[in-house]
Amino acid sequence: MKFPQNTKPVLWGAASGALALAIVGFAWGGWMTSSTASKQVAAAAHDAHVMALAPICAERFRTDTDAAMNLSELKTASRWDRPRIIEGGGWATVAGEKSPDSDVARACARILTDPPTPKA
């Protein structure tokens, strides 16, 4: 079987075009592999989990019997020690879990020490 004389350049052009399309699609077009999408979904779910539980942690902290003393201790501690104080007090431990969530503790400490300013 004989192929037409211009078959080879057409095939090379089609392969080059497909490669260029893939490069442009993944680099600038927003395409992604399923594993990348799964990682992004897991990260978004974790962020939503932290955003939902941090205010609950802060409220548990504020309703504790020694809240004023704990808050002064928290505010005088360094930024790096604040999550450990929250974890140690048990406020970042979710019901049913045995250990505190360090990301929730970090967000909780941020809520307690840097309250949002009201917008005018």
Is 73 inside a domain boundary? yes
Other CB atoms within a 10 A radius of the CB of residue 118 amount to: 5
Is 92 inside a domain boundary? yes
- pLDDT tens by residue, 47-90: 999 999 999 999 999 999 999 999 999 999 999 999 999 999 99
Is 108 inside a domain boundary? yes
CA-CA distance, 64 to 52, in Å (whole number)? 20
What local confidence, expressed as pLDDT, does residue 114 receive? 84
What local confidence, expressed as pLDDT, does residue 87 receive? 94
What local confidence, expressed as pLDDT, does residue 120 receive? 65
Number of domains present in the structure of the chain: 1
As given in the structure block, the two tokens for residue 80 are 């790096």
Is 16 inside a domain boundary? no
CA-CA distance, 108 to 115, in Å (whole number)? 10
DSSP 67-115: HHHHHHHHHHS-TTTHHHHHHHHTTTPPTT-SS--HHHHHHHHHHHHSP
Is 9 inside a domain boundary? no
Is 6 inside a domain boundary? no
pLDDT score of 94 more than 90: no
Is 70 inside a domain boundary? yes
Q: Which domain holds residue 95?
A: 45-120
**Secondary structure letter of residue 63 according to DSSP:** T
Cα distance between the two ends of the chain: 80
Is 17 inside a domain boundary? no
- pLDDT tens by residue, 14-52: 999 999 999 998 888 888 989 999 999 999 999 999 999
CA-CA distance, 92 to 53, in Å (whole number)? 8
CB 49 within 8 A of CB 92: no
**Secondary structure letter of residue 117 according to DSSP:** P
